[in-house]
Structure 1
Amino acid sequence: MSAKDPEGAAACEVWFYHLERTGLDQALPELLEKTLQRGWKAIVRSSAPERIEHLDGWLWSYRDESFLPHAPADEPGAARQPILLTTGVENANAADALFLVDGAEPGELAAFKRCVVLFDGNDDDQLRNARAQWSAVKARGLPVSYWKQQARGWEKQA
């Protein structure tokens, strides 16, 4: 049974992904592909404008045989994009999934089905931030899970 918000709608699930074996550039495209395969739209929110610029180029070229259709939020037609890259808090493309990187804050989550927090396990600041976000999400009563990168892939730990 899934958690419900006060209005009775399914609450946003918040998944924490602890990156240890690969970096964000390897993990994020795979998770975005799975999101699009579900028929969902996504927002990738960063606290760093330079990360948005990097991802804008990377998602077109991360693999020779495919790309992920996306755009930065400040480009025309942002509302039509399957994946929107932003530092802002608006859900301009009516996304189902929110991906948080670089310690970006989740803000209001009611519009999302899932929020994925990706953090680098080798970065003490990101670890501290992820722990604080975990506590805040739990305090809000949202369903939360923790995924750790293992040799054979992602494994749910909590």
Structure 2
Amino acid sequence: MTTARTEYYDDPEAPEPNSLVVAASAVVTDGEGRVLLQRRRDNDLWALPGGGMEMTDSLPGTAVREVKEETGLDVEITGLAGTYTYPRHVIAYSDGEVRRQFNVCFTARAFGGRLEISDESSELRFVQPDQIGLLPMHHTQRLRIRHFLERRERPYLG
């Protein structure tokens, strides 16, 4: 069974974090400029693929591994969209973990594999940028995608 999660952002009612997790996510695009999104099972919201770093991972390697695990695609990292470390963004899980997450969002290009739903997602889809706003999504995910779509000269540092 998937653990449920609730995200808090600038919420005075948010529980106190009991863990700090280093995580990586990736904005994976196809040849048409569409962005790969997954509908998460734990909160039913659309999100970029990503997850926590393991002791044997590099941060870019985490993004590559998580994309493979969650979508079935093999990707190569092509750049950095930004760092997302806001201290008042807290994620609470039904198993009691309350994490403060440090996320580094990379850009990536798929070169192999095939789209395959994992136990963490209920749907996978490449989405046109102008359609992303129509999907239910936490605003922190929208922020990462927006920073990518702005084609910034430098990564977002926050």
Q: TM-score, normalised by structure 1?
A: 0.25
Q: Which has the higher helix share?
A: 1
Higher strand share: 2
